[in-house]
Amino acid sequence: MYARRIEKEGETKTLTFAVSGMLWNRSLVMIDSETNSLWSHLLGRSMAGPSMDTQLKVLPGLMTDWKTWRQRHPDTTVLKLSRTSQGYLKEFYAEPARFVIGMSEGDKARSWSFDVLLQNPFVNDHFADRPILVTFDDQSSTAFVYNRRLAGDTLEFELKDGQLTDRQSGSQWNPATGQCENGPQAGQVLELIPAIVSYRHTWETFYPDSPD
Amino acid sequence: MPEESEDIRTGGGKSTKQWALLGVLVLILAGSIWINWDHFQALTTGTPTGQDFGEGREGSHTSYRVPQITPMAAGFHPQVAIPSVFPPIQDAPVVSATSMQDQSSDFQLADNELVLGITIGDQSRAYPINMLTGPQREIINDVLGDVPIAATW
C-alpha cells in the first residue's frame, strides 16, 4: 500500500499507476501515467524514467482476513469489483515458511518469517531505531507490526496468563485489534507500522542482506 | 478427480498407434506452453475472459511507449512479460460494510477471504485480494480521506 503523492525537486505530483506488462526479478513493474516512469512494485522505488530514484511512501496497510478487518473497523468501506480469483483465503498461508513480513528504510531492511512468528508470536524488537512489536495471529494468519512507543513510554510486551500484557503497566492488549482491553492503558490503541507481506524468496531477492 | 482416473482405466484398450498419437499431441502442447510461458502464466493467474470488470474506470489509457524509458537505474533489468500496458484502474466502486450486513445485499465476503486494509484518519477501506489479481487488476488507484493511495500487494 503506497501513497501516490511524490515530491521531486520541490514539486508535488499525484501519480496514477498501472501494470506495465514488465517483470523484474519475476516481480511486478509499475508505470505511472504522469511521468511515464517505471517503478519496482516491492521496493516502491522508481527504477527508470524522469522519476528515477524517487521512493514512494509505504502506508500501514494490513494483510488480514475479512473477519479480523471488520472486527478492527466495523465502519470500513470495501472495494466492490468482480472477483478475478477465488483462492486468496487465509489458508493461502498454509506453508508459513514461504512468507515474511518485512520493513525497509533507506538501506536497512528486516523481515520476520511467518513460521518463526508462529513459534514466537510476540517479538519485542527494534527497526530503524524504533521500538516495535511484531505479532502473529494464528487464527487469521495475520502478521502485525506495532509501534511500542505510546505517549512517550516504550512498552515491552509478554504473554502473561495467556494474555498479551505490557510489563510497564500490566495492561492487557488484544493483538488482533491493537486495543488495550484491561488495565491502566484501557482504551489506548497501538499504532500499526507500515510493513509488507511478501513471499520469502521475493523479499530475499530484493533485500539480499535482510536478516530474519 | 474420480472421473479422470476412470478415464485412464478404461483407456487400457487403446492401440499402440493411438498412444503414440496422444504422446505427440501432449509433447506439442507442453512445448507451446514452455515457449509462451510468461504469457501462459499471465493467463492462468487470472486474466478473465468475458468477465465483468466492475464499474471502475478501466480501459481509457494506452498511450505509453514502454521500451524507450530512460534513464535507467543500474541493475534494473526489466523483462517484457506481456507486451502491453494495462490501463490504470481509478474510481472503482466501494460499498460500506454496514450495507453488506443486510442479508438481501448481493455483495458478500467470506470471513476467511484475505483483504488488504488501510486506515487513514477516521476512514478505513478493505481491498479483497481476490479482486486484486490477474495482471490487469494488481493496482487500484484510490483516494481515502483526501490521500491518493495505490492499493497493491
User: Which amino acid would we find at residue A146?
Assistant: Y
Distance between CA atoms of residues A91 and A181, nearest Å: 29
**B19: confidence class by pLDDT, cuts 50, 70, 90:** confident
Q: Are residues A108 and A181 in the same domain?
A: yes
The domain containing residue A161 runs over which residues? 66-83+95-206
CB B80 within 8 A of CB A22: yes
Which residue of chain B comes nearest to A59, CA vs CA? B118
Tell whether A59 is covered by a domain.
no
Q: For chain A, how are helix, strand and coil distributed in percent, rounded to 5?
A: 15, 45, 40
Q: How many helices (H) and strands (E) does chain B have?
A: 4, 6
Which residue of chain B comes nearest to A2, CA vs CA? B150
Q: What residues 89-128 of chain B have any CB closer than 8 A to a CB of chain A?
A: 89-90, 92-98, 100, 107, 109-120, 123-128
**pLDDT of amino acid B14:** 52
Q: Are residues A75 and A37 in the same domain?
A: no
Tell whether A56 is covered by a domain.
no
Residue-wise pLDDT for A138-185, tens only, equals: 999 999 999 999 999 999 999 999 999 999 999 999 999 999 999 999
SS3 A155: coil
Contacts of B99 in chain A (CB under 8 A): none
Tell whether A135 is covered by a domain.
yes
Shortest Cα distance from B62 to chain A (angstroms)?
A: 10
Tell whether A53 is covered by a domain.
no
Q: What is the mean pLDDT of residues B128-145?
A: 95
**pLDDT of amino acid B27:** 76
Q: Are residues A77 and A170 in the same domain?
A: yes
Question: In this structure, what C-alpha cell is assigned to residue B50?
Answer: 468475458
Tell whether A180 is covered by a domain.
yes
With CB atoms and an 8 Å threshold, state whether B54 touches A59. Answer: no
Contacts of B81 in chain A (CB under 8 A): 21-23
Q: Are residues A38 and A106 in the same domain?
A: no
**pLDDT above 50: residue A75:** yes
Which residue of chain A comes nearest to B107, CA vs CA? A80
CATH code of the domain in which A113 resides: 2.102.10.10
Q: Are residues A192 and A100 in the same domain?
A: yes
Residue-wise pLDDT for B21-36, tens only, equals: 777 777 777 766 665 5
With CB atoms and an 8 Å threshold, state whether A33 touches B79. Answer: no
Nearest by CB to residue B139, choosing from A17, A21, A67, is A17
Q: Are residues A122 and A192 in the same domain?
A: yes
Tell whether A160 is covered by a domain.
yes
Nearest by CB to residue A5, choosing from B52, B148, B151, is B148
Q: Are residues A26 and A121 in the same domain?
A: no
**pLDDT above 90: residue A57:** yes
Q: Are residues A26 and A76 in the same domain?
A: no
**B6: confidence class by pLDDT, cuts 50, 70, 90:** very low
Q: Are residues A27 and A74 in the same domain?
A: no
Residue-wise pLDDT for A91-113, tens only, equals: 999 999 999 999 999 889 999 99
Q: What is the complex's ipTM, to 2 decimals?
A: 0.95
Supply the mean pLDDT for chain A: 95
**A90: confidence class by pLDDT, cuts 50, 70, 90:** very high
**pLDDT of amino acid B48:** 35
Best probe of the A interface among B114, B120, B131, B143, by most A CBs < 10 A, is B114
Q: Are residues A108 and A195 in the same domain?
A: yes
Distance between CA atoms of residues A88 and B153, nearest Å: 12
Distance between CA atoms of residues B52 and B35, nearest Å: 30
Q: Note the pTM of the prediction, 2 decimals.
A: 0.81
Tell whether A211 is covered by a domain.
no
Q: Are residues A126 and A28 in the same domain?
A: no
B35 touches chain A (CB under 8 A): no
Q: Are residues A120 and A38 in the same domain?
A: no
Q: Environment class of residue B67 by beta-carbon count within 10 Å: exposed (0-12), middle (13-18) or buried (19+)?
A: exposed
Tell whether A138 is covered by a domain.
yes
CA torsion B33-B39-B42-B44 (nearest 10°) is: -20
The residue with greater pLDDT, A30 or B44, is: A30
Residue-wise pLDDT for B46-104, tens only, equals: 333 323 333 344 544 444 445 578 899 999 999 999 888 889 999 999 999 999 988 77
B46 touches chain A (CB under 8 A): yes
B82 touches chain A (CB under 8 A): yes
Number of domains in chain A: 2
**pLDDT of amino acid B117:** 98
Give the number of beta-carbon pairs within 8 Å between A and B. Answer: 256
With CB atoms and an 8 Å threshold, state whether B140 touches A79. Answer: yes
